[in-house]
Amino acid sequence: MLSRIAESLFWIGRYVERADDTSRLLQTHLRLLVEDTSGAEVDACRNLLALMSVDHIENPTHHDMLRVLGYDRNESTSIFSCWAAARDNARRAREVIPLELWECINTTWQRLPSGTFDKNRANAFLEWARQRSALFTGIARGTMVRDDGWQFMLLGRSLEQVDMTSRLVASASLTGGSTQWPSVLRGCGGHDAFLRTYRGLHTDREAAQFLVKDARFPRSIMHGLNAASECLRKISLSNSQAARQSEFATRALGQLRARLEYADVGELLDKLDEHMAAVQDVAAEVTNAVATNYFAAEDPTAWITEGTR
């Protein structure tokens, strides 16, 4: 497979997953703001933006948060920018992606809001953004051939899911009170599955165990690490050179899986930010390794913004 096609498919998977998970993170945070009676909106918004590596806004409000992470086309972290970047990559991979998948991405981009909206409209927009990501995933799973292109797209999606789930989990430490973990579980779409798994028992320990270590739940960190490792294994089956190229990335994922699998849940909760930061660091390292080993040597951001901003 041409490296430019592999790169486009990898980033399509990442950007669509990022749009989905950013929607979930915003919904979770808005729910926590409603449930929090302390009134520390600025601190809560600042902490959330810091989780998303946004630190250029002083004294942010929920309006700033919605703009930066939601609809601002000039902010690279926004849902709008994620879909715009996914569309740019899809245009470059048009010869290998199904027509239905292209139409899903293109239609979503065309229907994105072009102006501001307030908190009252935010939930409807975020729910729509999640539905479009789910539609993309369903079409991709139902129409794409399981070749190297599919593996690169799934690899990108899995790495992004690991990164963003770690941010959702870390957001549980941003707001005090007993309602934080249920909100995070709902944000990950796992509240009902969690209650069935633990028979209604609702504690921080079990919630952290479920979202971090339970590979049976498809949005858990462990499930994403397993999926990314499996993608690398299948890509490496193509030839011996690919096996050597994926060695560092496979080892990094394996070490992180072992660290989380054998970590004490109590210690995990005590140092939640530290452990989730380590997960994000490994996801970034593996992404860099994949880009270096498989993709063309060029500025990774030089071409993803063309024409759709």
pLDDT of residue 39: 59
Q: How confident is the model at residue 162 (pLDDT cuts 50, 70, 90)?
A: very high
Would the pLDDT of 4 be above 70? yes
Measure the CA–CA gap between 186 and 173, rounded to whole angstroms.
16
Among the listed ranges 25-29, 37-41, 52-56, which one has the minimum average pLDDT value? 37-41
Reduce the DSSP state of residue 127 to 3 states and report it.
helix
DSSP 25: H
Q: How confident is the model at residue 138 (pLDDT cuts 50, 70, 90)?
A: very high
Contact at 8 Å (CB) between 69 and 78? yes
pLDDT of residue 97: 95
For residue 303, being part of any structural domain is answered with no
pLDDT of residue 227: 97
For residue 184, being part of any structural domain is answered with yes
Tokens representing 121? 């409209």
Q: Which amino acid is at 279?
A: V
Residue 116 or residue 44, greater confidence = 44
Would the pLDDT of 281 be above 70? yes
For residue 306, being part of any structural domain is answered with no
b/e per residue 58-78 (b: at least 16 CB within 10 A):
eebebebbbbbbbbbeebbbb
pLDDT digits (tens, 9 = 90+) for 227-266: 999 999 998 887 666 667 788 999 999 999 999 999 999 8
Tokens representing 154? 């799934």
Q: State the residue range of the domain holding 162.
A: 3-294
- Of residues 69, 64, 33, the one with CA closest to residue 52: 69
For residue 299, being part of any structural domain is answered with no
Number of domains in the chain: 1
Tokens representing 105? 């991405």
DSSP 172: G
- Of residues 168, 173, 203, the one with CA closest to residue 189: 168
pLDDT digits (tens, 9 = 90+) for 88-131: 999 999 999 999 999 999 999 999 987 666 667 888 899 999 99
Among the listed ranges 28-32, 65-69, 134-138, which one has the minimum average pLDDT value? 28-32
Angle at Cα 55 formed by Cα 49 and Cα 60, nearest 5°? Answer: 60
What is the average per-residue pLDDT within 136-147? 95
* Mean pLDDT over the full length of the chain: 86
For residue 301, being part of any structural domain is answered with no
Would the pLDDT of 1 be above 70? no
H helices within 198-298, ranges in order?
204-208, 221-236, 240-245, 247-261, 265-270, 272-294
For residue 307, being part of any structural domain is answered with no
For residue 266, being part of any structural domain is answered with yes
Length of the chain equals 309
pLDDT of residue 298: 52
Measure the CA–CA gap between 249 and 121, rounded to whole angstroms.
41
Measure the CA–CA gap between 87 and 250, rounded to whole angstroms.
29
pLDDT of residue 201: 67
pLDDT digits (tens, 9 = 90+) for 192-224: 999 998 887 678 889 999 999 999 999 999 999
Would the pLDDT of 304 be above 50? no
pLDDT of residue 257: 96
For residue 302, being part of any structural domain is answered with no
Q: What percent of the chain has pLDDT over 70?
A: 87
